[in-house]
């Protein structure tokens, strides 16, 4: 939609300049740029349900993930595409949980930004190829792990440093039952020890 406003929130001047140049010279859109989220959030008549926000994660003051939460709470129909140098699972999933519809790695910006905007307008969820693969892999792992509610409680307490005895006391179950649950957790998470199980549970966003 031509009437869609593109809002760029990026504190790196060179990256902002490159993004603005690409968008202005390869589309009908005239993006508005802010160096931080606070300026965007307080500007009148800029953010609305008819805009797409290109959001950097590492920003001075309010970071991109917190800014995404604030924008979505006020303008739930705004589409936010995260732009970041980080491809960490934590950054990706925290962004998506905050309400972002897409995630583009900055190295992919030149080739991806215009198609991503168009895809977003068409109702899609634009992501760099590596990010899309990560999300798909995590989804498959979550489905295959299939921890029960009690097993999830156990691995959570284990990650917090509780011993088998402490977990048993917390959950009002026998220590042998805790050991049984942990054995099942190891099998489901393809882990051979506590640290591997906790790492896998965090990667799959079970805890």
What number of CA atoms fall less than 13 Å from residue 8's CA on the CB side?
Answer: 25
Give the whole-angstrom CA distance, residue 22 versus residue 36.
20
Output the pLDDT for position 158: 93
Pick the CATH number of 146-203 from 3.40.50.720, 3.40.50.2000, 1.10.10.10, 1.10.3720.10: 1.10.10.10
User: What mean pLDDT do residues 92-121 have?
Assistant: 89
Tell me how many helices (H) and strands (E) the chain has.
10, 5
pLDDT score, position 152: 92
Extents of the domains making up the chain:
5-139, 146-203
Q: In percent, how much of the chain has pLDDT > 90? A: 45
Whether residue 89 is predicted with pLDDT greater than 90 in this model: the reply is: no
pLDDT tens for each residue of 189-201: 877 778 888 988 8
Q: Which has more confidence, 104 or 49?
A: 104
- The rounded distance, in Å, linking the Cα atoms of 144 and 90 is 20
Is the alpha carbon torsion for 174, 179, 184, 188 positive or negative?
Answer: positive
H helices of 27-128, in order, are 37-42, 64-74, 89-98, 109-121
Asked whether 109 and 19 are in contact (CB, 8 A), the reply is yes
Residue carrying the six token digits 């990256």: 15
User: Mean pLDDT across the stretch 102-113?
Assistant: 89
Comparison of pLDDT for 106 and 137, the residue scoring more: 106
pLDDT of 21 strictly over 80: yes
pLDDT tens-digit readout, 121-165: 887 888 888 887 777 776 666 555 678 889 999 999 999 999 999
What CATH number belongs to 5-139? 3.40.50.2300
Chain segment 46-59, per-residue pLDDT in tens: 787 788 999 999 99
What does the pLDDT read at residue 150?
92
CA distance 5 to 50: 6
Decide if pLDDT at 23 tops 90.
yes
């Amino acid at each position: 939609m031509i009437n869609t406003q593109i809002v760029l929130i990026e504190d790196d001047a060179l990256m902002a300049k490159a993004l603005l140049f690409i968008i202005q010279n390869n589309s009908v859109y005239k993006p508005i740029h802010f160096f931080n989220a606070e300026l965007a959030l307080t500007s009148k008549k800029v953010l609305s349900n008819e805009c797409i926000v290109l959001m950097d994660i590492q920003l001075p003051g309010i970071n991109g993930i917190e800014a995404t939460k604030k924008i979505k709470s006020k303008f739930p129909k705004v589409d936010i595409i995260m732009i970041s140098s980080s491809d960490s699972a934590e950054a990706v999933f925290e962004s998506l949980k905050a309400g972002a519809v897409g995630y583009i790695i900055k190295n992919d910006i030149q080739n991806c930004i215009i198609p991503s905007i168009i895809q977003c307008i068409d109702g899609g969820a634009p992501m760099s190829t590596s990010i899309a693969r990560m999300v798909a892999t995590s989804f498959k792992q979550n489905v295959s792990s299939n921890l029960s509610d009690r097993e999830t409680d156990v691995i959570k307490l284990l990650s917090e440093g509780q011993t088998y005895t402490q977990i048993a006391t917390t959950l009002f179950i026998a220590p042998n039952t805790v050991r049984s649950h942990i054995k099942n957790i190891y099998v489901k998470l393809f882990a051979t020890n506590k640290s591997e199980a906790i790492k896998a549970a965090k990667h799959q966003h079970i805890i």
